[in-house]
Amino acid sequence: MRKSTLSSVFLTFLFLLSTNAIAWDSSRLTFKTGATFIQPNDSSNELEGIAGSKVGAGSASTLGLIFNYQLSSTWAVEALGIIKSHHELNGKGSLSSIDEIANISVLPPTLTLQYHLPLKSQIKPYVGIGANYTRFSNLDASGELERALGGETDIDIKDSWGLAAQIGVAVPIDDQWSFNSSLWYIDMDADAQLRTAGVKRDIDIKINPWVWFFGVGRSF
């Protein structure tokens, strides 16, 4: 179901790009950069074999890099990229005595189709919907976790695909520069497997972060 929905989103992007290709002269490419804050809205099932166990994800900040292509006066496509963010996974429930389960790095490029409200105002609000791909890396189990599980532990987390929703606003400074603020909600799952001395334990962590961006944009 999710793959079918994501395919529909990308087909819509391609259709709009093709139908608006002739509008290049009146379109604008904008590059944005600024501070990006990632706040997980997390939950998880139990770590297999450990009753009452839960795992959560900590927040992080990093540098955001955004490319926006204006298809028309009201429609645009935007690609969100960030410098990898680094998060702690924390024990909850029966694992709450373990402050740090592991450290992970997250790279979540996100593509959205935006609708810019046609307001006669200096403030330019917009909404968007699209798709996210997340790659997890640098998966390091903590010493506390390894002691609790009884040995050296390897962690694997599958890449995640999900939907994304966005609201934002641009405030022009002049014809080329603007202040920008955006908020995304991203459907992000971390399906993880822990392996300790031949014992495999699975857990599904729903990270589902809110992502705030505050920065400046330069239009070309």
Digitized pLDDT (tens) for each residue of the chain, 220 residues in all: 554 555 554 455 445 444 444 443 345 899 999 999 999 999 999 999 899 999 999 999 999 999 999 999 899 999 999 999 999 999 999 999 998 999 999 999 999 999 999 988 889 999 999 999 999 999 999 999 999 999 999 999 999 999 999 999 999 999 899 999 999 999 999 999 999 998 999 999 999 999 999 999 999 9
- Dump the DSSP string for 170-209: EEESSSSEEEEEEEEEE--EEEEEEEETTEEEEEEEE---
The answer to whether position 26 is within a domain reads: no
Q: Centre a 10 Å sphere on the Cβ of residue 184 and count the other Cβ atoms it contains.
A: 23
The verdict on residue 20 lying in a domain is no
- b or e along 103-126 (b: 16 or more beta carbons within 10 Å of the residue's beta carbon)? bbebebebbbbbebeeeeeeebeb
Let me know if residue 21 belongs to a domain.
Answer: no
Q: Can you give the pLDDT at residue 55?
A: 95
Among left, alpha and beta (phi > 0; psi -120 to 50; other), residue 77 is beta
Question: In Å, what is the CA distance from 213 to each residue of 70, 154, 164, 168, 184?
Answer: 19, 33, 15, 9, 9
Residue 17 falls within a domain, yes or no? no
As a whole number of angstroms, the distance between CA 87 and CA 138 comes to 10
Does 193 reside within a domain?
Answer: yes
Token look-up 């969100």 returns: 80
What pLDDT is stored for residue 119 in this prediction?
A: 87
Burial class (CB in 10 A: 0-12, 13-18, 19+), 97: exposed
CATH number at residue 99: 2.40.160.20
For residue 1, what pLDDT is reported? Answer: 52
Helix ranges, 20-70 (H): none
Mark 25-34 as b/e (b = at least 16 C-beta within 10 Å).
eebeebebbb
- Which tokens belong to 110? 């996100």
Residue 189 forms part of a structural domain:
yes
What is the domain range of residue 36? 2-11+32-219
Is residue 27 in a domain?
Answer: no
Report yes or no: 136 and 103 within 8 Å, Cβ to Cβ: no
Q: Report the C-alpha gap between 220 and 177 in whole angstroms.
A: 10
Q: Is 23 within a domain?
A: no
Helix, strand, coil percentages for the chain (3-state, nearest 5): 15, 60, 25
Per-residue model confidence (pLDDT) at position 120:
84
Domain count, the chain: 1
- In angstroms, the first-to-last Cα distance of the chain is 39
**CA-closest candidate to residue 79, choices 119, 36, 130:** 130
